[in-house]
Amino acid sequence: MKRLRYFIQRTFLNMIQSPLLSSATIGTIGVALMLLAFFTLIVLNVQNLTRQWSREIQVTVYLEQVPSTTKLQQWQEQIEQMPNVGHVTYVSQTEAFELFRKRLGRNDDLLDGLLPEILPASFEVELTQKFRSGHGAELLVQELKKNPAFSGFRYGQDWLKRYDAFVFLLKLTGALAGGFLIFATLFIISNTIKLTIYARRDELEIMTLIGATPMFIKIPFLAEGALQGIIGALLALGGCHALYFFFLKRGLSALLTTTAAGNITFLPLSVQAGIILLGFVLGICGSALPLRKFVRM
Amino acid sequence: MSMIQMCRIAKIYDNGVPALYDIDLQIPAGDFAYITGSSGAGKSTLLRLLYCADRPTRGQILMGNRNITRLNARKIAFLRRQIGFVFQDFKLLQNRSVIENVALPLQVQGVSVKETRSRAFELLQYVGLEYKMQRKPLELSGGEQQRVAIARAMIVRPKLLLADEPTGNLDYSLAQEIMEMFFRINRTGTTVLVATHDTEVMRLLPQRTIALDNGHIISDTRPTDVLSKTAIDQSQETV
């Protein structure tokens, strides 16, 4: 208990007694993690946006002839049971005709004299989240083609190709930029902590000379690193929230007339906790590595 | 009883630089000895071996009855709690007050705050710096900083006090004051080893002197020997 009190006391005193070094470390951790948090914020929001777009992906299955109600129900159930299918809606010829009329708007008189039978009945098949891509749609179509009564399929092939290319580019950019950013963050933080410990190497040497055991010397430094990591991460989240609020929320809504800015959300709690944990782990690991070098008996 | 026994000690650094050869040395408990020699003679290396900062390449070192040649980190830490250190550059923590510096060794040993503070204050009185206990080391003169370092070394009531060029940064009168402090400590039963090349101090305060040159002990003389040698030298000069 006495030891624990000493370590806690020493951790805070070390930070108070070396205010410049402490604030430099916290500042560096804060800025590095803020960049990472802001990047994550952008990636997550773009992912949300593409997820919304992906809801548009559906396969329309046209029927050669309208079968009996029993047959229709049987086919609908059959499609619904496929693993990559989310929801199936039957669109009758009359419904299709009415929809077409609506789309024509003021020109709906073009349909005057025509019967709903000129349009085929169809199933509108929504895919599950995992299969909402060009490849997923093609897989479903291959499966549906096994039924000869399904005469045609439409799933926006051209749009899907562009969507797939965009998602691929987004993932690639995210992985490259994210990887670089994580590496840069680790590099900057570990080097800053290393320099602060280097600046205090005399203290480490003196502690070894007066009979402190390696763990006794290291624990306050590790705790200090962890605390600096957590404070840095909290500052990073604060800074990231300020950027989100002033730049993304207010700035974008002033620039854009669309509701896109309204859909932008801040980091979910799990990611915020992850960033605090990252700060904690970086603080400890960043301190542990140079301590191994400098605490030599 | 011997405080230190070194048998056929050699130290060659990893880069191949030899520092000590075949050192056989015995320091009785309660002794006072100077280790002298020019720069690079091996004085600091010899002290470093005694507080296990380096391991000898060959040979054995006994401290009391304990072989300290191959101790692990934890045992080294516990050994050092019985040794006091004084260095040329004082090695004080600049961001802590004088009393905090003096109290540090007892804090490390987990002694109660009350006892640590009272003992630190007692030792600051002993070195005459109790009125500056809240100052930071950089606010003190060189001589005062060295007295703080001595107080820190003494707080653990060490069996052995090692001093590496303790007067190197001080003028003559301060050096004499510091050396007299070492004699006072020695009189309490602590074995004191002082590595120095300050011939003036050794001449005025003669004690056993172990001279090193290029890693070899070239002489090990007691004040009586020194005096007789001086007498011989003087007589030869007269002749």
Verify whether the Cβ–Cβ distance B77 to A211 is below 8 Å.
yes
- CB nearest B78 (choices: A209, A211, A214): A211
Using a 10 angstrom Cβ sphere, with 0-12 exposed, 13-18 middle and 19 or more buried, the burial of residue B101 is buried
pLDDT at B238: 42
DSSP state of A267: P
Distance CA B134, CA A7 (A): 22
Per-residue pLDDT of chain A (297 residues; tens, 9 = 90+): 777 888 888 888 888 888 888 898 899 999 989 998 998 898 888 888 887 777 777 888 888 788 888 888 888 888 888 888 888 888 888 888 888 888 888 887 777 877 778 888 888 888 887 888 778 888 888 888 888 878 788 877 777 778 878 888 888 988 898 888 888 888 888 888 888 888 888 889 999 999 999 999 999 989 999 999 999 999 999 999 999 988 888 777 666 655 555 678 899 999 999 999 999 998 999 888 888 888 877
B156 contacts A211? CB cut-off 8 A: yes
Residues of chain B neighbouring A209 (CB-CB closer than 8 A): 51, 80, 85, 91
Tokens standing for residue B207? 């004690």
At A288, list the tokens.
């542990």
Q: What burial class does residue B85 get, using C-beta atoms within 10 Å of its C-beta: 0-12 exposed, 13-18 middle, 19+ buried?
A: buried
Residues of A in contact with B74 (CB under 8 A): 213-214
Q: Cβ separation of B85 and A209 shorter than 8 Å?
A: yes
Contacts of A39 (CB under 8 A, 6+ apart): A177, A178, A181
Complex ipTM: 0.85
Question: The tokens of A281 are what?
Answer: 């782990």
From the number of C-beta atoms within 10 Å of its C-beta (0-12, 13-18, 19+), residue A44 rates as: middle
Structure tokens at A286: 């960043």
- Order of strands, edge to edge, in the sheet holding B83-87? B83-87, B160-164, B191-195, B32-36, B208-213, B216-221
Contacting residues of A for B105, CB less than 8 Å apart: 210-211
| Length in residues, chain A | 297
How many Cβ atoms from other residues are within 10 Å of residue A240's Cβ? 24
- At residue B229, the pLDDT reads 54
Q: What is the pLDDT of residue A150?
A: 81
A3 in reach of chain B (CB within 8 A): yes
Give the model's pLDDT for residue A258.
Answer: 56
Residues of B in CB contact (< 8 Å) with A are 51-53, 73-74, 76-81, 85, 91-93, 95-96, 104-105, 107-110, 112, 152, 156
CB contact under 8 A, A2 and B152: no
Which string of DSSP letters, residue by residue, matches B59-91? EEEEETTEE-TT--HHHHHHHHTTEEEEETT--
Strand ranges for B142-207 from DSSP E:
160-164, 191-195
CB contact under 8 A, B96 and A17: yes
Judge whether A104 is closer than 8 Å to chain B, CB to CB. no
Q: Count contacts between A and B (CB, < 8 Å).
A: 57
Q: State how far residue A274 is from chain B, nearest Cα, in angstroms.
A: 35
Q: What is this structure's pTM?
A: 0.74
Q: Would you mind telling me the total number of residues written for chain B in this entry?
A: 239
B110 CB neighbours in chain A (<8 A) are 2-3, 6
Residue in chain B nearest A18 by alpha carbon = B95
Give CA A164 to chain center in angstroms: 18
Please tell me the distance from the alpha carbon of residue B98 to that of residue B91, in angstroms, as a whole number.
12
Stretches in chain B below the pLDDT threshold 70: 224-239
What is A147-212 written as a DSSP string?
Answer: STTEEEEE--HHHHHHHHHHHHHHHHHHHHHHHHHHHHHHHHHHHHHHHHHHHTHHHHHHHHHTT-
Measure CA of the first residue to CA of the last residue in chain B; give whole Å: 43
| Residue in chain A lying closest to B155 (CA) | A210
CA distance A233 to B110: 34
Chain B contact for A269 (CB, 8 A cutoff): no
Beta bridge partners of A60: A124, A154
The pLDDT score that the predictor gives to residue A119 is: 84
Interface residue of A6, A20, A205, A210 to substitute, partner B, most B CBs within 10 Å: A210
Q: Say which DSSP state A85 is in.
A: E
